[in-house]
Chain A
Amino acid sequence: AQTVTQSQPEMSVQEAETVTLSCTYDTSESNYYLFWYKQPPSRQMILVIRQEAYKQQNATENRFSVNFQKAAKSFSLKISDSQLGDTAMYFCAFMKLQTYGGSQGNLIFGKGTKLSVKP
């Protein structure tokens, strides 16, 4: 069974600074996706960034980037130039791929990290 661990329940950062959220996972699968989702207070969860395990290059999306270490089963999220709107719960998630390709339905989430961006 796959597990996802986020060891930082809460973090805070000053506006415009950089913060890194940690995530480790455990799996025996070789083909999978990893995700970071953001859940703002009382709002729906949205995708921040996605990484395919077969890609060595780390994914980036504007101010968001990941450090994917497949051998270490580590998948951290770096937020640069933090903004007040980044305040949210951040969830790391794992999804294995089906044998013939394409995703399965089951996203496995960590417990989340509550990020507060302070002015």
Chain B
Amino acid sequence: DTGVSQDPRHKITKRGQNVTFRCDPISEHNRLYWYRQTLGQGPEFLTYFQNEAQLEKSRLLSDRFSAERPKGSFSTLEIQRTEQGDSAMYLCASSLGPGTGELFFGEGSRLTVL
């Protein structure tokens, strides 16, 4: 299966620690997106890349959050000094953009901050 893969699937950390999530998109997809989903809510946009360029960032992406896609392939999302409010599912998606707008999602990385 060559879908979008995310690692780790689950992460439990203590408040104040740093965490990093990795996303491997579908290989030919040039766009990569990060979303955050909390319980009972729809996903909220964080940021997206076209190739290695970060084209848009949400106001949700505070200065504790940083995302990279150094070679236009995989991407990392780092959260520094985690807070309990960061507990959520972090979803990665990719697309052959701009195209039809259809996004292909990974299964997500669930973060629990104690």
Chain B residues with CB below 8 A from A111, complex form: 40-42
Determine if A109 is an interface residue (Cβ-Cβ < 8 Å): yes
- For chain B, residues 78 to 114, give those with C-beta under 8 angstroms from any C-beta of chain A: 91, 93, 95, 97-103, 105-108
Contact B107 A44 (CB under 8 A): yes
Give CA–CA (A98, B4) in the complex, Å.
25
Cβ-defined contact, A109 with B43, below 8 A: yes
| CB closest chain-B residue, reference A93 | B42
Which residues in chain B, 50-94, are within 8 Å of chain A measured between CB atoms? 50, 55-56, 58, 91, 93
Contact of A50 among B55, B101, B108 (CB under 8 A): B101
Residues of A within 8 A of B101 (CB): 33, 35, 50, 95, 103, 107
Interface residues on A, range: 20 to 34
Q: Fill in one digit per residue for A43-65: 1 if any B CB lies within 8 Å of its CB, else 0.
A: 11111001000000000000000
Task: Give the interface size class of chain B.
Answer: 20 to 34
Contact A103 to B48, CB < 8 A, known contacts A44-B4, A44-B107, A110-B42: no
State whether A91 touches B55 (Cβ < 8 A).
no
* A119 contacts chain B at the CB level, 8 A cutoff: no
Using A104-B98, A112-B42 as known contacts, list a sample of 5 further A-B pairs with CB atoms less than 8 Å apart, ordered by residue number in A.
A45-B105, A50-B101, A107-B33, A111-B41, A112-B41
